[in-house]
Structure 1
Amino acid sequence: MQENRPVIALDFPEFSDVKDFLEKFDPQEKLYIKLGMELFYTAGPQVVYYVKSLGHSVFLDLKLHDIPNTVESSMRVLARLGVDMVNVHAAGGLEMMSAARRGLEMGTPAGRTRPLLIAVTQLTSTSEEIMHNDQKIMTTLEESVINYAQKTNEAGLDGVVCSAHEVEKIKAATHEDFICLTPGIRPKGAAVGDQKRVMTPSQARAIGSDYIVVGRPITQAADPVNAYHSIKIEWAQSTKNS
């Protein structure tokens, strides 16, 4: 179920930054926007309502990780915002992830589609050395990611956030329709920044990613609209497993 629009990460500190950015685009163009913690903590639900009022899709990237009851209650609230996708940390465990899905189902208003629910495996900023030293997880990074993906699937979630490098093995360990959303996407020649495991849009498409998330190469470009369209063309026109 590949999404042909790259998801734009609007990692801005203020609501006004979001308005300024979106005003650069033709109002008829419907984008897929990722709203993260910094922005949501600053502006709250109003930023979600604003972006949805423009007809855009919203991935609300809050990465919930708490006891099952708290996550379930929180998801009931988030479901009422009308977002299209939300996420949790797979490290919260099977019970927590199952509770997250229950909360979303209970909170989704009648007649609306439940938001997609995905889980973070290992952050793309996490290297195997960091995982060993800081988390004391002594498997390989790949084994950790695949284990989290299998638990996510077992809990009934729709997919995971993962590096594009792990997509093929995750789908083999779960199923072909299991969503793999991949951040750490950089056009050829772009700065890597704090990402450790990156790919170009065409590489991510070929390897089977369903969604890609792109932030700074678009939001910090001299011409964000042109940068977006260049990435969108590369992503949408690439051939899976080419």
Structure 2
Amino acid sequence: MHAETMRDRLIVGLDLPTVRDAEQAVRELEGVVSFYKIGYQLAFAGGLDFARELASGGTKIFLDMKLLDIDNTVAKGVENIVKMGMTMLTIHAYPKAMRAAVEAARGSDLCLLAVSVLTSMDEQDVIDAGYEYDPHTLVLRRSEQALHAGMGGVVCSAEEAEAVRRIVGPGMAVVTPGIRPKGSDHGDQKRVVTPAQAIRNGSSHLVVGRPIVGAADRRAVAEAILDEMRSA
């Protein structure tokens, strides 16, 4: 893979408290990173307008909203997110919600991602949430449902990427958060993998937040992660 391709596969999570902080991070990473994730923290601090602004300038944005609601509400939300020019959007992997989202995004370039099981959850957490499956089985079952619903990809732990890739085939995105470069702190993630391992396991995109945005030299850390991805 040449450099540009790997650059398109690294998504930096702008998990920061204010748009001003996020603007600073984007400035520092200019020329190294071309794809950013905006989630709840920033979205509720003016991040949706910031996302629209970045997208209009050609930056790719993964809007991590994990939508789940009645079909009509999901569909109307997706229609407006398409108009914002977003590249990726997460939907909880419930079959009805996924089908509604796919229908609403039809004809657009928006890649809809099915959130299978959060990477902060282990087996006990899944049982506590009322599921009869272990995390691995639940991820595979939901990946199959995402494929049948016509989704653009699946979000899962890089530990599961290989098994998910076998189910969804080469065409769908397999997006893996919980990526921690060698020697970094795991934070609240329970199922974590290094960048090189994730690429080898079949991840199409790696989401890295705190290890980059929390670093003293964000640019150097991002470049080191890209090097590690290329080495795989």
TM-score (norm 2): 0.93
Following superposition, the deviation at residue 173 of structure 1 comes to: 2.2
- Structure 1 residues 57-102: Cα deviation after superposition (integer angstroms, max 9, x where no partner): 1101101011111000100000000111111000xx2121111011
Q: Does structure 2 conserve the Cα–Cα contact (< 8 Å) formed by 1:3 and 1:210?
A: no
Following superposition, the deviation at residue 54 of structure 1 comes to: 4.1
- Whichever residue aligns with residue 36 of structure 1, its letter is G
Q: Distance in 2 between matches of 1:117 and 1:3?
A: 20
Alignment pair present for 1:122 and 2:117: yes
**Greater CA deviation, 150-159 or 175-184?**
175-184
Q: Distance in 2 between matches of 1:101 and 1:207?
A: 27
Q: Distance in 1 between matches of 2:73 and 2:205?
A: 28
- Structure 1 residues 22-57: Cα deviation after superposition (integer angstroms, max 9, x where no partner): 12234x455110011121122053111222244321
Q: Does structure 2 conserve the Cα–Cα contact (< 8 Å) formed by 1:142 and 1:166?
A: yes
- Whichever residue aligns with residue 112 of structure 2, its letter is L
- Whichever residue aligns with residue 184 of structure 2, its letter is A
Following superposition, the deviation at residue 168 of structure 1 comes to: 1.4
Alignment pair present for 1:43 and 2:46: yes
- Whichever residue aligns with residue 18 of structure 2, its letter is E
Q: Distance in 2 between matches of 1:174 and 1:227?
A: 31
Structure 2 match to 1:15 = 19
Structure 2 match to 1:213 = 207
Structure 2 match to 1:168 = 162
Q: What secondary structure sits across from 2:106 in the alignment?
A: helix
Following superposition, the deviation at residue 105 of structure 1 comes to: 2.4
Q: What secondary structure sits across from 2:49 in the alignment?
A: helix
TM-score (norm 1): 0.89
**Greater CA deviation, 117-126 or 138-147?**
138-147
- Structure 1 residues 155-205: Cα deviation after superposition (integer angstroms, max 9, x where no partner): 000111000111111122232222210000001110000000000000111
Distance 1:53 1:74, change over 3 A: closer
Alignment pair present for 1:137 and 2:131: yes
- Whichever residue aligns with residue 164 of structure 1, its letter is A
1:13-162 equivalence runs, <5 A: 13-26=17-30, 28-29=31-32, 31-90=34-93, 93-105=94-106, 108=108, 114-132=109-127, 134-162=128-156
Q: Does structure 1 conserve the Cα–Cα contact (< 8 Å) formed by 2:99 and 2:150?
A: yes
Can you give the 5+ residue segments of structure 1 that lack an aligned partner in the other structure? 109-113
Q: Does structure 2 conserve the Cα–Cα contact (< 8 Å) formed by 1:3 and 1:211?
A: no
Following superposition, the deviation at residue 236 of structure 1 comes to: 2.7
- The alignment covers a number of residue pairs equal to 228
Following superposition, the deviation at residue 237 of structure 1 comes to: 3.3
Q: Does structure 1 conserve the Cα–Cα contact (< 8 Å) formed by 2:161 and 2:201?
A: yes
Q: Distance in 1 between matches of 2:111 and 2:133?
A: 29
Q: What secondary structure sits across from 1:23 in the alignment?
A: helix
Q: Does structure 2 conserve the Cα–Cα contact (< 8 Å) formed by 1:163 and 1:198?
A: yes
**Greater CA deviation, 74-83 or 45-54?**
45-54
- Whichever residue aligns with residue 155 of structure 1, its letter is A
Structure 2 match to 1:4 = 6
- Structure 1 residues 82-137: Cα deviation after superposition (integer angstroms, max 9, x where no partner): 111111000xx21211110111227x4xxxxx2111110000000011111x2121
Runs (4 or more) in structure 1 with deviation over 3 Å come to none
Following superposition, the deviation at residue 214 of structure 1 comes to: 0.4
Structure 2 match to 1:111 = none
- Sequence identity of aligned pairs in percent? 35
- Whichever residue aligns with residue 27 of structure 2, its letter is E
RMSD over equivalenced CA pairs, Å: 1.8
